[in-house]
Structure 1
Amino acid sequence: MSGINATFTRYRAVAVIILGLIAVLALSLFVYLQPGVKKELLPVTQTVDGLPAENDLPPVYFPLDPFTVSLQPEDGDYGAMLYVGLTLRLRDEKTRELVESQLPELRNHLILLLSQQSLASLTSAADKQALLKKIKRELNQQHPNGQPSFVTDVFFNSFIVR
């Protein structure tokens, strides 16, 4: 009898820890499987406009080939260039097909927009965020009237000013 008590006393701490872990795992599994909780636990991503992105559909990303544009001269300083690569987050796969069909026009609008920028207007992080908003607005103005915006967000892949 004393051998059983000694063994039980010896492993009591281990048994309490194991039972505690089982209880925590069971409780977390119960909470996770509750209806309606899963969506609330998902992180909400922000767009460049500060609005939450929609979590209903998986995002569709459309990377654009990087390109180089000449920037507006400042104080007689010529030759400033911007090398930029962008990725667009689109509404759905149908929108991806629309963007692919209009890609030459969209790239033209992007080049015109970016070539209007000056070196001083691209220095801070806030300036770059404002540029992302301009790009998103410009691209969404190119879709047919009456349809919702097709570009939900814009991301820089590369951004080099020389």
Structure 2
Amino acid sequence: MKADAKAEAAPPAGGGKKKLIIILTAVLVLALAGGAGAWFMLHGDSGDEHSEEAKPNKKAKKPAKKAGPPVYIPVDQFTVNLQPENGDQYLQLAITLQASSLEESEVIKTNMPKVRSRILLLLSSKHASEINTPEGKQQLSKDIMEAVNLPFENGGEPQEVSEVLFTAFIIQ
């Protein structure tokens, strides 16, 4: 009978194994959760785009532009009176704008009346002596680029015209 009493008094075998399995499972789950969290922090989508759409007061960002060949936008010819120096003179000018992407060129084409107005105001403020030298033409190109790159709307994004190319330039 002594053998039967010892069998009943001994704790059941395997209770320690269950605890060990539960602890190892919990550690494994926590490690996987931590690894997944770290991966999403470094590589995943933070969800900012979705929260930006829900907030109407936030200014929308332009989508990232794809690198590619430049896009050329021809602008109709201008004929303007220049500021008088030695009698009446006028400038006949044709230009092409270089934009960074198709999206940018579409924005500029859509706002072409504003682009032309800005350029006309700029050109009509010039004297012939200012723009008939190579340096004067380069400065005029920079001035046109600055005028075109101004935002079309208050608080809007500026344009990305990188070059103004003269295709016709006549002063009379």
TM-score normalised per structure 1: 0.61
Q: Which has the higher contact order (CA 8 A, sep 6+)?
A: 1
Q: Distance in 1 between matches of 2:70 and 2:101?
A: 7
Of the candidates 81, 85, 88, which is equivalent to residue 70 of structure 1? Answer: 81
Among all aligned residue pairs of Structure 1 and Structure 2, give the percentage whose two residues are the same amino acid. 34
**Distance change in 2, residues 1:138/1:122 (3 Å):** same
Provide the rounded CA distance (Å) in 1 between the counterparts of 2:110 and 2:128.
32
Separation in 2, partners of 1:160, 1:121: 14
Q: Higher Cα Rg: structure 1 or 2?
A: 2
Partner residue, 2:171: 161
Equivalent residue of 2:142, what SS? Answer: helix
Q: State whether residues 71 and 116 of structure 1, in contact with CA within 8 Å, keep that contact through their aligned partners in structure 2.
A: yes
Q: Which residue of 2 aligns with 1:134?
A: 143
Matched residue type, 2:119: L
Does the C-alpha gap of structure 1 residues 109 and 148 become closer, same or farther in structure 2, counting only changes over 3 Å? closer
Return the offset for 1:146.
5.8
Contact 1:106 1:142 (8 Å CA) reproduced = no
| Length-normalised TM-score, structure 2 | 0.57
Structure 1 segments unaligned to the other structure (5+ residues): 1-55
C-alpha contact 1:65 1:86 (8 A) present in aligned 2? yes
Give, as a single letter, the amino acid of the residue that structure 2 aligns with 1:63.
P
Number of aligned residue pairs = 105
Distance (whole Å) between structure 2 residues aligned to residue 148 and residue 89 of structure 1: 15
